[in-house]
């Protein structure tokens, strides 16, 4: 059994579940809107980072990416859907790889477009304040943002497969992503820099002074994601469907 | 055509033994009824055949191959396990198209099986709007998608209306007539009697019977004759002379156990007993099943989780 038909099937599943394309639309709309608002607001913060200000819509927007990953997997854990899927594709590792690919590709595509739109929208408001940004920094921010959103969606997908519940995965991730970032904020250093969301978000800043750079930060997030996906795949292969 | 081979199959969930050392074959060209009370292990056995659950010991194969090793398994085996498996937000057609794509089945198969199961008119409606009977039909459509040689249906008549029950009976007979291997689980006796050629009966995970249905009934239920007369005294003495015992019933008729209608008819006619009614009482699968399970009392009235 080859990979392409399984991927095709998983892609059709995502496309034909109306809430999933809707979640990607929400990702685009929320991120762009919040970036535009951030770009238009007055700031007197001396540590103002124009790149992060432009891409700050990702902070609320990533919730949509996380929901997308969780929902795409959790739809398999209702009323025997997983049994039907695995009866059609008994190679569970291959099936889960196809599922993850079918989640990653649309999030990456929408994530890149979203980051670009957010940057453009925010720069319209920032005006001269953003003139210091080099084109290299802006490309890095947009590409990094797309990768970051993809990794977060896959992290949610892996956790959902492990916990066999989308609600379970979201109730772990959303407090993790939202609360930890807001409560601990910029003050704490050290270990919190290595949390999956904070590590990956370094790529959204023009300047960074922590232990992680933009790409090494994304690599740390990628390790978290890989761990979640492997744990999900392990659970799927080991347990009765 | 492919048969299903179950060998020494055992499945334990924790300490509970859901399937206990089962060995039987399901052969092509006939409908095998899979009987047993709820919790007897029918659904578990089906999941083990499909490789969805891992056996504790033993094996279940299809034509000698484990299910997981089949390339594009929907072309070989079609199964209905749970009518709720289709996502409520998808249309029936999209549901079948996603399944078809995974096994490289042509997309037109989705429309063909929708037509075959009588769902063509509602194919573009979301599954959430379907009745239980329509969901059953969709589950059967999914099972038929790959035109498989082996069809396994778990309680397919659940929720079907009378018309649907007649439809499924004909469908099962036709599938077997085409030489396919058909395994249908049920806890409804009369329903199973209407389509099965062969029976596999489980109780508490163990194999209780694996016989042709007619044989199963005749071995367990003795023939009985029902007779009505205006002259009970003449009837009983005539029967007594022939060595038969007659039992009177409140409704005014008599029954003769262990007797065939041909013998009793001749006997009472020769004795000149006036007869209003004379008939043989057909043994039913239900009687045979109850006879089997009453000898194995531990299998009756023991509700378990499915």
Examine the pLDDT at A186 and tell me if it is beyond 80: no
CB contact A87 to B (< 8 Å): yes
CATH of B4-218, one of 3.90.1150.10, 3.30.70.1280, 3.40.50.300, 3.40.50.1820: 3.40.50.300
CB contact A22 to B (< 8 Å): no
Residues B26-31 have a mean pLDDT of 97
Q: Phi-psi region for residue B72, left (φ > 0), alpha (ψ -120 to 50) or beta?
A: left
Q: How many CB atoms lie within 10 A of CB B29?
A: 15
Q: For residue B160, give both structure tokens.
A: 């079907």
Report the CATH number of the B222-281 domain.
Answer: 3.30.70.100
CB contact A17 to B (< 8 Å): yes
- What's B244's DSSP letter? -
Q: What is the pLDDT of residue B275?
A: 92
Q: Would you call A84 and B104 a contact, using CB atoms and an 8 Å cutoff?
A: no
Phi then psi for residue A46, to 5 deg, are: -65, -25
How far off is chain B from A97, nearest CA to CA, in Å? 13
Closest alpha carbon to B38 in B191, B193, B204: B204
| For B86, nearest residue in chain A (alpha carbons) | A81
Report which secondary-structure segment, H or E, holds B32. Answer: strand B30-35
Distances (CA, A) of A99 to A3, A46, A104, B298: 11, 45, 9, 45
Examine the pLDDT at B295 and tell me if it is beyond 90: no
- Give the strand pairing for B150-154 and B77-80: parallel
- At residue A191, the 3 state secondary structure works out as helix
Delimiting residues of CATH 3.40.50.300 domain(s) in chain B:
4-218
CB contact A81 to B (< 8 Å): yes
Q: Which candidate from B86, B94, B103 shows the least CB-CB separation from A5? A: B103
CA distance A145 to A135: 15
How far off is chain A from B143, nearest CA to CA, in Å? 10
What is the rounded radius of gyration, in angstroms, for the C-alpha atoms of chain A?
Answer: 18
Delimiting residues of CATH 3.30.70.100 domain(s) in chain B:
222-281
Q: Would you call B97 and A8 a contact, using CB atoms and an 8 Å cutoff?
A: no
CA distance B91 to B106: 18
- What's A176's DSSP letter? I
Contact A55, A35 (CB under 8 A): yes
CA distance B12 to B18: 6
Q: What is the pLDDT of residue A182?
A: 66
Provide the ipTM.
0.90
Contact A34, A126 (CB under 8 A): no
DSSP string, A10-40: HHHHHHTSTHHHHHHHHHHHHHHHHHHHHHH
Q: How many CA atoms lie within 13 A of B295 on its CB side?
A: 8
Q: What are the start-end ranges of the E strands in chain B?
A: 4-13, 16-26, 30-35, 57-62, 77-80, 150-154, 181-186, 198-203, 206-212, 224-229, 246-248, 254-257, 275-281
Residues B55-84 have a mean pLDDT of 96
Examine the pLDDT at B303 and tell me if it is beyond 60: no
Report which secondary-structure segment, H or E, holds A118. Answer: helix A92-126
Handedness of CA B186, B190, B194, B196 (dihedral sign): positive
Instruction: Establish, for the pair of chains A and B, how many residue pairs have beta carbons separated by less than 8 Å.
Output: 86
CA distance B56 to B112: 39
Distances (CA, A) of B273 to A187, B200, B242: 108, 44, 13
Higher pLDDT, B21 or B261: B21
CA distance B113 to B128: 19
Examine the pLDDT at A131 and tell me if it is beyond 50: yes
Q: pLDDT exceeding 70 applies to what percent of chain A? A: 93
Q: pLDDT tens for residues A194-234?
A: 888 889 999 999 888 878 899 999 999 999 999 999 999 99
CB contact A6 to B (< 8 Å): yes
Contact A145, A107 (CB under 8 A): no
Q: For residue B44, give both structure tokens.
A: 């578990």
Chain position carrying tokens 């995502």: A14
Q: pLDDT tens for residues A57-101?
A: 999 999 999 999 999 999 999 888 999 999 999 999 999 999 999
Q: Phi-psi region for residue B22, left (φ > 0), alpha (ψ -120 to 50) or beta?
A: beta
Q: Would you call A87 and B94 a contact, using CB atoms and an 8 Å cutoff?
A: no
């Amino acid at each position: 059994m080859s990979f392409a038909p399984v991927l095709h099937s998983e892609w059709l599943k995502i496309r034909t579940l109306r809430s999933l394309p809707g979640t990607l639309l929400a990702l685009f709309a929320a991120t762009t809107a919040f970036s535009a608002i951030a770009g238009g607001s007055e700031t007197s913060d001396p540590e103002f980072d124009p790149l992060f200000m432009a891409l700050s819509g990702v902070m609320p927007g990533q919730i949509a990416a996380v929901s997308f990953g969780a929902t795409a997997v959790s739809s398999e854990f209702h009323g025997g859907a997983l049994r039907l899927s695995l009866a059609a594709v008994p190679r569970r590792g291959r099936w889960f790889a196809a599922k993850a690919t079918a989640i990653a590709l649309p999030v990456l595509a929408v994530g890149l477009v979203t980051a670009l739109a957010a940057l453009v929208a925010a720069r319209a408001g920032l005006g001269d304040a953003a003139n210091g940004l080099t084109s290299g920094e802006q490309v890095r921010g947009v590409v990094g943002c797309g990768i970051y959103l993809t990794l977060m969606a896959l992290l949610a997908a892996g956790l959902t497969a492990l916990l066999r519940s989308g609600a379970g995965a979201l109730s772990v991730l959303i407090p993790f992503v939202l609360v930890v970032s807001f409560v601990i904020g910029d003050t704490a250093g050290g270990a919190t820099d290595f949390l999956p969301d904070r590590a990956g978000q370094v790529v959204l800043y023009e300047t960074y002074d922590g232990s992680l750079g933009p790409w090494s930060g994304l690599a740390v997030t990628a390790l978290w994601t890989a761990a979640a996906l492997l744990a999900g795949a392990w659970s799927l292969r080991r347990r009765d469907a | 055509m492919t048969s299903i081979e179950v060998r020494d199959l055992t499945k334990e969930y924790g300490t509970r033994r859901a399937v206990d050392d089962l060995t039987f074959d399901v052969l092509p060209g006939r409908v095998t009824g899979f009987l047993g009370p709820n919790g007897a292990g029918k659904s578990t056995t089906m999941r083990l055949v499909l490789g969805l659950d891992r056996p504790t010991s033993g094996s279940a194969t299809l034509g000698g191959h484990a299910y997981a090793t089949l390339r594009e398994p929907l072309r070989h085996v079609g199964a209905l396990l749970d009518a709720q498996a289709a996502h409520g937000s998808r249309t029936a057609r999209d549901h079948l198209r996603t399944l078809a794509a995974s096994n490289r089945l042509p997309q037109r198969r989705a429309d063909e099986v929708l037509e075959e199961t009588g769902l063509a008119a509602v194919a573009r409606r979301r599954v959430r709007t379907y009745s239980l009977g329509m969901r059953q039909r969709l589950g059967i459509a999914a099972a038929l998608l790959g035109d498989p040689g082996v069809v396994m249906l778990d309680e397919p008549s659940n929720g079907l209306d009378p018309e649907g029950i007649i439809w499924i009976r004909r469908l099962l007979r036709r599938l077997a007539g085409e030489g396919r291997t058909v395994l249908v689980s049920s806890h409804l006796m009369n329903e199973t009697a209407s389509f099965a050629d062969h029976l596999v009966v489980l109780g508490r995970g163990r194999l209780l019977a694996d016989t042709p249905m007619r044989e199963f009934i005749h071995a367990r239920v003795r023939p009985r004759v029902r007779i009505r007369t205006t002259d009970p005294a003449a009837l009983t003495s005539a029967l007594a002379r022939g060595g038969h015992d007659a039992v009177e019933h409140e409704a005014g008729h008599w029954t003769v156990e262990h007797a065939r209608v041909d013998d009793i008819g001749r006997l009472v006619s020769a004795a000149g007993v006036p007869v209003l009614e004379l008939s043989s009482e057909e043994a039913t699968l239900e009687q045979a099943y109850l006879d089997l399970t009453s000898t194995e009392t531990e299998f009756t009235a023991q509700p378990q989780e499915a």
